[in-house]
Amino acid sequence: MTGVKVMRRHMKWIVPAIVVTTFSFLNVAFAGNPAAGAKIFKKKCKTCHRLSDGTKVGPGLAGVTSRRTNEWLHKWLTNPKAMIKKGDPIAVKLKKKYKKQMRTYKLMQDEENRENIIAFLKQNDENYEKQK
């Protein structure tokens, strides 16, 4: 086989490899930054939420990224009161159970901040599972 032929044979793998690599990088970029999420949690959420399954003012957040969809979490964080008003069954149930209501945060209107906090909660869930 000539060198050119060998190269052609490998060429068909190069393009998909580049595509896959690029997308996995993009994925990381969009997946949120757990360290930035941790900072938000400490500042804004810790007063009412534990990272275990123990209740504080609101529910313990361990396992929250598996019991809720990503979409639900985005909606909730953007505007919890609107979710209750619209009659979202999960939100209504939570409100009944916890009495005190979570408010809307300006910080959470930014998609990147929401991605970061969700990434942090996801990381917490993974660690929590391992500890069990």
Write out the residues near ligand HEC by the rule CB under 6 A. 40, 44-45, 47-49, 57-59, 61, 64, 68, 73, 76-77, 80, 94-95, 98, 100-102, 105, 108, 117
Cβ neighbour number for residue 113 with a 10 Å cutoff: 20
Q: How far is the CB of 129 from ligand HEC (least distance, A)?
A: 16
Q: Which residues contact 5 (CB under 8 A, 6 or more apart)?
A: none
Smaller CB distance to ligand HEC: residue 21 or 111? Answer: 111
Q: How far is the CB of 131 from ligand HEC (least distance, A)?
A: 19
Opening angle at CA 119, ends 57 and 41, nearest 5: 35
Smaller CB distance to ligand HEC: residue 19 or 57? Answer: 57
Q: Rounded distance, CA 49 to CA 19, Å?
A: 40
Q: How far is the CB of 15 from ligand HEC (least distance, A)?
A: 41
Q: Among all chains, which residue has been given the structure tokens 């804004």? A: 44
Q: Rounded distance, CA 120 to CA 39, Å?
A: 9
Q: How far is the CB of 26 from ligand HEC (least distance, A)?
A: 25
